[in-house]
Structures are given as C-alpha cells and as structure tokens.
Structure 1
Amino acid sequence: MKKALAILSFAATALTLSIGAASAEDKVLAIVVKGLDNPFFEEIHKGCEKWNAENKGKGYTCLYTGPASSNDEAGEVQIVDDLLTKGVAAMAISPSNAPAMANLLKTRKPTIPIMTTDADLNKEDAALRKAYLGTDNYLMGVQMGEQLQKLKPKGGTVCLQLGNVAAANIAARAAGVRDTLAGAKDVASLTGQNGWTEPAGCPLFTNDQIDLANQQMTDTFTANPKLDAFVLVGGWAQFAPQAYAQVTDQVMDRLKSKDLVIIAGDTLPPQMDALKAGRSHAQIGQRPFEMGYKAPDIMIKLINGEKVDEIQFTGLDTCLPDNADSCLAK
C-alpha cells in the first residue's frame, strides 16, 4: 500500500511540475500514457516534444505524463482525474485498463475533447472519446500470425505473452494472432486448429513488467522444452537487452535452427539488435513517435470543432533478418 501511495505521489508531483512549466498563456494538450518506465512510451514523449519545439508561441503546449509504473492502472486513472480537475484543453489517453478508464469518463463527463492514442477504449465505450490515433492492433496480431505461419506452416505449440489483462489493444493483438493461426474468427484459445495449440500456463500476462516478462520466458522454455513458438505481442522482455540475451541464450541453438521461433511486437533499437543477433525471427513494429507528434494537432482540431476521422492508424513495419537495415519507416 505504501509503495502504491508513493507512486501516486510521484506521479502527482510530476504532473504539477509539468503543468507549472508550461507558459501561462499556453493551453495544455495532455498525453497520458500507461507508464513512464516503458521505453515504448518514451518514443511518444519524443514526438510530443518535437511538436512543442515546432509550435512555440502558438498558444498550446503538449504535456506528456503518466504513472511512474506501467502496471499502475489505478495511478493512470487518478492522473486523468487530476488533469480534469486542474483543467487542460484536451486529452489523449492510452488506457491501461479500458473499463476502469471508461468508468471514470462516465462519472466525470468531461467537457473537453478526449481522444485515445496507442490503446483504445472497448467498443462499447467508444462514444466516450472523439478519436483514436494509433496502431491497428488486430492487424498487428494478424501480421505476427502470418510471419509465424511462414516459419511453422505445419503448426505446433505456441505461447502468447500479453500485457495487462484489461488492455484493449493487447487483447486485439492476441485475437489477431489466434484468428490468423486458426483460420477462423473469434478464437478464444488455440486447441488444435490448423495444428496450433497453446500449452498449459499460456497465455502469460506481464502486467507490463519487464523483469516479469523475462522470467516468464525462462520458466516457459524450461517447462516446455519442445515449444515451437513464443509470441511477445508487446516488446516487454526485449526492453531489457541483457536479461533478454540471457533468456534466449538457453535456447539459442533452437532459435538458430528455427526449431523454436520467436515473433515480437515493436521495433525499438534494442529489439532490432535482438533481431539482427538471431534472438527473434520477426518484429512487427508500431510507430509511437508518430502518435506523440500527431496527437496535439488532432486535439487542436477537436477543440476548434473541426471534423476529424474517428480512427486514424499510424501504420506498421515488418522487420525480418534480411531487411533489418531498411524496414523502418523514415
């Protein structure tokens, strides 16, 4: 309990300092992410900061914030609540727990424009936000499944590593993977469809914890020495390069022979290094910088009452060993 309170206190202090640092004349465009400890979200931060650098003196400031830890769902909801109380011009949220965030928005009934980025609300709550900017997460899962099918056309055992249980974007990716491998829609679990089966103990939920993600991989490889494939629908384990290298060292011979295949989400620098080193076979990358850079302009349009597309996808990059030096969008 004390740790949770400390995290909330840290996040609240950072939020106050960030709002106070903005020009008194500027209206605040807030981007709230799942956690400041995740390097994926730091790319969104960079996009936000580039927007600030290019739009000085134009009356708006992009504010990047979130809880200290990516597994602090309550902390993220509290930050959004605090922002609504303190007053911002508009907000772009990446909800860690989609139902919990929706409940807050239903309770607060904000009058400012609310959009989502990176992760969306669940379909039944979509009316609570004006727009979504980010990845087509189902398609991301489909592309992961397609790459796995190419490498393992006869199927096999596959373990999916997911993030937070209530994160809509992660659930959509998992659905895309399963549907593609099964050749059918709305597959809750792989139980032999097209030769694919999820072993006992899978899927895994990391709660966005990098250390837990690596430990889960180690435990899964130990418990399933003949596992055919491991799919990280997000890049958690790979965000700690040394730990991930130690995990994959134990199965390096199987990775080289493609007896065991690893497919992973995201294409941050340490992940691309892992791909080039043969520690994964495909990386399906999102474009988080673009999310942070484009969100402020969408928020301004919403403030001004301009029409915007409700769904705006930022695209995907498929990176393989043979195109690793040229696969990323410039």
Structure 2
Amino acid sequence: MLLTLTSAFILATGVGAANADGKKTLAIVVKGLDNPFFEQINLGCQKWMSENMNSEYECIYTGPASSADEAGEVQIVDDLLTRGVAAIAISPSNAPAMANRIRQISPNVPVMTIDADFLEKDRDLRATYLGTDNYLMGVKMAEEAMALKPKGGSVCLQLGNVAADNINARAAGFRDTISGAKGTERLDGNNGWTEVDGCPVFTNDQVDLANQQMADTFTANPDLDAFILIGGWAQFAPQAYAQVTDQVMDRLKSKDLILIAGDTLPPQTQAFRDGRSHAQVGQRPFEMGYRAPDVMIELISGKKVEDPLYTGLDVCNQSSPGFCADN
C-alpha cells in the first residue's frame, strides 16, 4: 500500500529507515500535493509498489499541501532525513534553499532529484537527476512558436517559482532558441520576438493566479502574438482556463494569437483538442515516479547510476496531434 505523507504525519509516527513491517523507506518529496502533475508521480510510485510487494523497500510520496509552501517542503525533507530514510528523491521548489539545507544536514543516505534539479553549483549534493531535459523542453516550445509565427511577434512567458531550476531552464531553452543566441536573458526584437512589458509573469505554481495572469495579460495586450505557458498551471483548472481563453477564441482560431503550453495531462490534452492551445510539450511524470524507487535502490547498493536520467518528451501540435489525440 502506498503511503502519502504530510510533515505532521512524519513527526507523529516517526517514519524511519524501516517501518512497522520491516520495510525500508524510499521517499519521494514533491513541490506540492495540490498540483495534478505530481499526482502522476504518485501513480507511478503506486505502480512500482504493486509490482514489488515482496521488496524490502516501500515507496512513500509526500510534499507540502500547497506548491507555494517552499519552506514547508524543506521542512518535510528535513523531517524525513532526521527520522531516517533509506534514500530520498526531491523535486525542489526553491532549489537554493533546499540545497542549502541538504548541505547543512549532510545526510549519509543517497539523495537524488526528480522533476526539478538543484542549481549547477549544488549538484554535488545529489547522486543523479531523474526527469525532463528542461532546456530541451524550452527548445521544443520555441520551435513550435517559430513554426506558427515565422516572422516573430510580441510574446509573454508564464513561469512558476522564481527559484525553480527546471522552469528557469525551460525559459532559457525557449529564449536561446527563438533568439538564435545562447544566454539570451530577455527577448527584445531578437529574430522579430519581443517580450511585452510586465512579462514574464510568475505563478508561484498557483493555478488560480495563473489564469488571472493570462486574463490580465490579454486585456493589457490586445495585439499579443504569443502566450507561452512554460508549465501547465492554468490548464489544470479547466473551467477557469476555458473562461479565460473564451475571451480570445477568435484570435486563437485564426492563429493571430498562438498559445503553447507545457505538459500533457488529461485536462490539457482536452484543451488542445478544443482549440484552446496550438501545441503541448509534455513531460512523463508517471515514468519519473515509477523509475525513482529502482534508481534509489541502485544508489543504496552502491551501483553507478547515470547522471542525468532523462525521461523524454511528447510533442503535440495541430499537424501532428499524436499523444494528445487519444489522451
């Protein structure tokens, strides 16, 4: 049986290196339990558990209730390492803060990152990263934008937490590719692309804020050419997202305004089929959750593990809907 734990539960029960059944704990800690993307990691972990009932290890999945609770995530990791786990996989919301705490604790168990990585300067703290090549994800989003708007145009990027390494890597991949120059910090006429005033916007992984930001951006920039959801936040609330895109459906249909989003969860592929996005670049979170326990066991046993371990991407667009046509 899969355990989904909160920090309060950890403190109350004392999750240790071995539970009441004698199983050793492999912990997966995500940015927030309110994000449906991470639920796919949970389902992957559940699948692993169902296939490994006789293993000496169990997989637990946890995180703060809210994705905006960066300090809460750090505390949960602290609690788990203090109480004792066999290994831990972390998706850090605030990469510098999490790395700083790991460096202070200096745990004697394997630490890996999943979905989001530490900053490059802190990657000595973990054994490997399992997840998306986030820079490549940004590249793919830029390629979709350029195919739809070959002459460029005005654009707004919607990002997540300011210190989220994975989101920032996607933004870098997008800007570098669409500008044709590495290290582009902001688009200002590069290859015809310009970021509008007030953008990028940061959702702090809050779905309601993401939809409000979209609505505000469309109102403030009636001639906007492209809106890029570097992550899928707004689409995780289908009703609110439909209301926001209803305001610009005529422009979406004519491709006067293009909309490209990250991830391919069911409500997102439905939005794509409904014409509420022109392309989706999806990660594979289920695979992350399914593979993480085996990677942690390899690290515990001292085996050499590749770094990074990429899980691939699924690209859907109107000429090749692929994955999004059936999901």
- TM-score grouping bracket, smaller chain normalisation: over 0.9
* Distance change (3 Å), C-alpha of 1:40 and 1:326: closer
Residue in structure 2 matching 1:280, options 264, 277, 291? 277
Structure 1 gaps of 5+ residues are 1-9
Once the two structures are superposed, the pairs formed by residues 16-27 of structure 1 within 5 Å of their partners are 16=12, 19=15, 23-27=20-24
Residue in structure 2 matching 1:224, options 221, 226, 237? 221
For 1:240, the aligned partner's letter is A
- Deviation of residue 226 (structure 1)? 0.1
What does the per-residue CA deviation read over 1:69-120, in whole Å, with 9 as the maximum and x for residues that have no partner? 0010000000000001110000000000000011001100000000000000
- Deviation of residue 63 (structure 1)? 0.4
Residue in structure 2 matching 1:80, options 77, 82, 95? 77
Residue in structure 2 matching 1:152, options 149, 152, 155? 149
**Whole-angstrom CA distance in 2 between matches of 1:235 and 1:23:** 39
In proportion to residue count, which structure has more helix?
1
For 2:67, the aligned partner's letter is S
Residue in structure 2 matching 1:50, options 47, 52, 66? 47
Residue in structure 2 matching 1:186, options 172, 183, 187? 183
Q: Does the 8 Å contact 1:19/1:63 carry over to 2?
A: no
Residue in structure 2 matching 1:13, options 5, 8, 11? 8
- Deviation of residue 14 (structure 1)? 3.8
Aligned partner of residue 192 in structure 1, secondary structure: strand
Aligned to 1:4: none
* Distance change (3 Å), C-alpha of 1:328 and 1:77: farther
**Whole-angstrom CA distance in 2 between matches of 1:228 and 1:199:** 10
For 2:63, the aligned partner's letter is G
Worse-superposed segment, 19-28 or 236-245: 19-28
Aligned partner of residue 34 in structure 2, secondary structure: coil
Q: Which runs of 4+ in 1 moved over 6 A?
A: none
Residue in structure 2 matching 1:37, options 31, 34, 37? 34
RMSD: 1.8
Aligned to 1:69: 66
1:134 maps to 2:131: yes
* Distance change (3 Å), C-alpha of 1:23 and 1:282: farther
What does the per-residue CA deviation read over 1:205-260, in whole Å, with 9 as the maximum and x for residues that have no partner? 00000000000000000000000000000000000000000000000000000000
Aligned to 1:262: 259
Q: Does the 8 Å contact 2:15/2:83 carry over to 1?
A: no
Q: Does the 8 Å contact 1:158/1:227 carry over to 2?
A: yes
Aligned to 2:96: 99
**Whole-angstrom CA distance in 2 between matches of 1:23 and 1:62:** 14
Residue in structure 1 matching 2:111, options 114, 130, 142? 114
- Deviation of residue 323 (structure 1)? 3.6
1:252 maps to 2:210: no
**Whole-angstrom CA distance in 1 between matches of 2:80 and 2:226:** 43
* Distance change (3 Å), C-alpha of 1:18 and 1:66: farther
1:198 maps to 2:174: no
For 1:249, the aligned partner's letter is D
For 1:179, the aligned partner's letter is D
For 1:91, the aligned partner's letter is I
Aligned partner of residue 185 in structure 1, secondary structure: coil
- Deviation of residue 22 (structure 1)? 5.1
* Distance change (3 Å), C-alpha of 1:118 and 1:87: same
The percent of aligned pairs where both chains have the same amino acid is 68
- The number of residue pairs the alignment matches comes to 321
Q: Does the 8 Å contact 1:116/1:132 carry over to 2?
A: yes
